[in-house]
Amino acid sequence: MTEIINFAHRGAAGHCPENTMISFTRALEFGATGIETDVQMTKDGRLVLIHDETLHRTAGSPEWVKDLTLDDIKSREVGSWYHDDFRGERIPALEELLDLVRGKDTIVNLELKNGIVLYPELEYKVVEMVRQYGLSERIIISSFNHYSLVECKRIAPEIRTGILYMEGIYEPWDYAKRIGADALHAFKHALRPELVAAAAIEGVPYHPFTVNEQYEMKALIEAGVAGIITDYPDRLAELLSS
């Protein structure tokens, strides 16, 4: 059996404040073989790792990422909302994560968050930085904005892309081939074993999200998924080693 990728969702988000360096570092300590994170762009064109378009939930501020410079972003504290033990954690720039994984075998899933805010040239900037770090073979770019995935494939055919979707797409492996995508990143309730099998025949792997209970993980492993995106990479690592 091909080794299943243990994607840590926003890092070890079940244990640490999401999308922080401590969350990414802890995920690797827990046995993650992949890291999933979200990419947005600051006012001055820098790439930062944050899920929400505003800082309301994680920093207690109504400000939008698009309206702040990198220096502004770095001055915001995003750890204490989760637990006071993490007070002082900051929003990372993309290059901080790429520095962390550069000497490792970790797969990195970069989700482009450009459904609400259409960041200009986000695809180009992400591809450019990935290439600068020489990590094209270990990156998967995913997005709910499938136009963005097509653009990524146009400018960087060597970088894998993954289609994010919530509900049923008819024969999604055919759709993936149509837009040149390499994987299906489906919400866990949007797939069944027969879909996983049919996609595998067509050479299109599934990486479902966000799977946090071991009984769900076990069922998906038995169905034949190629990777699992989870807030608890330690739980998945334990299951895969047993």
Q: Which tokens sit at 27?
A: 């995920």
For tokens 């709910």, name the residue.
144
* Catalytic-residue membership of 51: yes
Query: Which residue is catalytic, options 15, 51, 185, 189?
Result: 51
The CA distances from residue 126 to 3, 82, 116, in Å, are 27, 28, 18
Q: Which tokens sit at 224?
A: 């034949």
* Catalytic-residue membership of 56: no
Query: Which residue is catalytic, options 9, 15, 185, 207?
Result: 9
The CA distances from residue 71 to 45, 54, 93, in Å, are 12, 16, 11
Active site positions, annotated: 9, 51
